[in-house]
Structure 1
Amino acid sequence: MFDAMDFAIVHALQINPRVSWARLGQILMTDPSTLSRRWSRVTGDRRVWSSCFHVINAQLRDLATAVVEIGCEPGRRQSVIERLSGEAPVVSIHCTSGARDLVLTVSLPDRVAVDRYVDEVVGSVPGVRRMRTSYFRRVFKQGSDWRPYALTAAQARAVSETLPTAVADPKPSPLLLELVAAIGDDVRRPISGLQGRVGRSLSAVSRGVDALLVASWVSWRIDFSHDLGGWEEVMLWFDVPQSDLENVAATLRRFPQLRWCSSMTGASNLIATACLRDIEELDEIERVIAVRFPTTRVTDRAVVPRIAKRMGHVIGYDSRLERYVPFTTG
């Protein structure tokens, strides 16, 4: 299991994944070698993993992303997971309670590519009985923005101050895209290791990593086994009047449990996931939404007893990382 210091390290690296152990040791008042040793232990035990990826296609536009709800034939869910977990466009796979067996996140350069992929690849997997696809519209909170809140406000600010500053948003370049691929499955990979992968000078690689840390089109993540960490995840679908959509999303964002939230196409026009210490926390979230927005309706809710894949990382039944499948822009 995790302890308070493990969560503090995770929280700090979610803010700045490249902060030095020496600087973080000063902020947490802990010996840097202890921090390094703990990080090596939790990643070596496959309880924590990291990723860096870009969210644009070859035309420098946002990827098209869809939620694909799948109903499986009885007894075939695991075989479906095994078939789809190695697919690069299938970014995440959640096992859920309720009307569907799996919820997939699929990302490709455009909606035509997503539509064809879902029909020809996902739909042809033996054991898939039915599918329903909805497209993301506006993401109100990214999963990479969720925190375990293990740092004090002062500590979190101090870690934020270690991030490089940029006058303008760095534009994608061949070097930066190469670096994203090189650092994709290990955000703490040393500069020397990155240099060996991209074949550029140490100074160019160092400047490139600093640029990626502030680039709006790059996402950095530190994820951990929620089951081993004592959290469980739920998914909520809402039908929200368009005039209230931003206010409902803003209200949800105020809950520290909220992990991710996006508007979407379909009968339910808002979807959210929350990380809970206790399932009863869901009652308070729903109560607040019901009181403040009486015309908003929760159309469905599901517990996520298992996450089989998250942002390219395949996760086993024991909630530990098995392998990384880099996802591409097609």
Structure 2
Amino acid sequence: MTPSTHESTGWPTPPEPAGAGALLGAAHPPLLDELDYLLITALQTSPRAEWAQIGKALGVDASTAARRWNRLTEAGHAWLSCYTVAVGPAVPIIAFIEVDCAAGSLHAVAAEIADDPHLITIEHMSGSRDLILNAVFPDQAALTRYVGFRLGRLPGVSATRTQLATVVHTEGSRWRLDRLGPDSKDALVTDRPPVAAPRRGLAAPDMLDTRLYLLLSEDFRQPAARLAERLGVSPTTVRRRLDRMHRQDALVYRCEVARYLSGWPISVTLWGAAPAAETSRVAAQLIRMRETRLCASLSGPHNLMLTVWLRSPEDIAAFEARLSTRFPELVVADRAVALWQLKLAGHLLDPRGRHIRSVPVTFWEDDDAERAENALLERLRAGR
């Protein structure tokens, strides 16, 4: 059978997965059926659509769609997440922190930092680093405080290396299973696409904004009336604030599926170097690739970071070969496979990628780290 061609790249499109059973072995029945995959894709396409609208797109009634989704979430096979970039007029710092751990201490370190609210993602990686953290900070001083007075003082942490994301070209909220046909897609009203990086010029959120966001991070499909009841305000106030957040692209919605059930079970991060004048053009092409989950420009010698989901370990070399052919100016300097995505977009996962619980994404504050930093400043002021 001749493979199809992906419309945006001209490259062969990998075949659709044979289902969860193929991933788990012939002795295991599929955990998800086609309707489950269609439902996940529908929620990735329009995460806030009403159940009636989703059911119509899939050819089922609203109660069936809702019941199926509840079953998926209870099993940890799929989940929704919401995080905000409404952090005020200043643009926050996005950082990627590599952590080396002493032998036998990796899991203790990961468990210690799992609830740090500014850590968007925590991954146990193959290769020359143990953990990679994707984190957000209000400014560079907060990043420095976290690395020096939080991570650097943890038992079991032997070294850290930090790079800033100068541009986040795309992130995981844009990734789709792509199981819906054109008619089903047309039946869904696609939400405003999420921005890839925090925008400038946003008003600083007040306390009500923060409380609203925390409720949305629990379940952003809650109706405005329910949110208003929990906040003690009117539904009109909630709708007005949601409208403002959406106009500002201040909320990012995601629908995720456990990676081992997605048909794309291998997550690979590649670090590459491209000429400065070519970086934007290369990144614009990379983010159109079917496999791309994350693409960011970095402050270090490897100025592009790319995370992709692949079908199998054998596809890693083939994918790099395609990159080399398509972008001869891009030199891939290193690559690593995610052995365990412990945290993804503020949600803790088990080793197979199933959902455990959420940790709402907010800025980090730590009294111990602040006291340690203040003590150092006093020492520097005093001199010898």
The within-5 A match list for 1:238-253 is 238-253=272-287
Query: Aligned equivalents of 1:322 and 1:227: distance in 2?
Result: 15
Q: TM-score, normalised by structure 1?
A: 0.91
- Find the counterpart in structure 1 of residue 28 from structure 2: none
Matched, 1:236 2:266: no
Structure 2 residue aligned with 1:326 = 360
**Counterpart position of 2:95:** 66
Structure 1 runs not aligned, ≥5 long:
none
Residue aligning to 1:196: 229
TM superposition shift of 1:211: 4.3
1:179 counterpart = 2:212: yes
Identical aligned residues as a percent: 33
State the distance in 2 between where 1:149 and 1:210 align.
28
**C-alpha root-mean-square deviation of aligned residues, in Å?**
2.2
What is the 5 A alignment of 1:1-330?
1-57=31-87, 59-161=88-190, 174=206, 175-230=208-263, 231-330=265-364
Query: 2:361 and 2:214 mapped to 1: Cα distance?
Result: 10
Structure with max Cα Rg: 2
Q: How many residues align?
A: 325
Is the 8 Å Cα contact of residues 63 and 329 (structure 1) preserved in structure 2? no
Q: Distance in 1 between matches of 2:252 and 2:239?
A: 18
3-state DSSP of counterpart to 2:333: strand
Distance 2:251 2:293 in 1: 18
Name the amino acid aligned to 1:308: L
Counterpart AA for 1:280: E
Measured at CA, do residues 136 and 157 of structure 1 come closer, stay the same or move farther in structure 2, by a change above 3 Å?
farther
CA separation of 1:155 and 1:213: change in aligned 2, threshold 3 A: farther
Bigger Cα displacement from structure 2, 296-305 vs 274-283: 274-283
SS state at 1:267 partner? coil
Counterpart amino acid of 1:107?
Answer: V
Query: How far apart are the structure 2 equivalents of 1:170 and 1:296?
Result: 35
1:89 Cα offset (Å): 1.9
Distance 1:138 1:161, change over 3 A: closer
Summarize the Cα distance change of 1:48–1:288 in structure 2 as closer, same or farther, 3 Å threshold: same
Structure 1 residues 326, 111: CA separation in 2 closer, same or farther (over 3 Å shift)?
A: same
Please say if residues 2 and 229 of structure 1, whose CA atoms lie closer than 8 Å, have aligned partners that are also in contact. Answer: no
Q: How far apart are the structure 1 equivalents of 2:90 and 2:185?
A: 32
Residue aligning to 2:368: none
Letter in 1 for 2:353: S
Answer yes or no: is the 8 Å Cα contact 1:65–1:114 preserved in 2.
no
Q: Distance in 2 between matches of 1:162 and 1:268?
A: 34
SS at match of 1:18: coil
Q: CA deviation at 1:288?
A: 2.8
* AA matched with 2:303: N
- Tell me if the contact between 1:170 and 1:211 (Cα under 8 Å) persists in the aligned partners: no
TM-score by length of 2: 0.79
| CA distance 1:124–1:278, shift in 2 (3 Å) | same
**1:163: how far off?**
6.7
C-alpha distance in 1 between matches for 2:91 and 2:290: 27
* 1:20 Cα offset (Å): 0.6
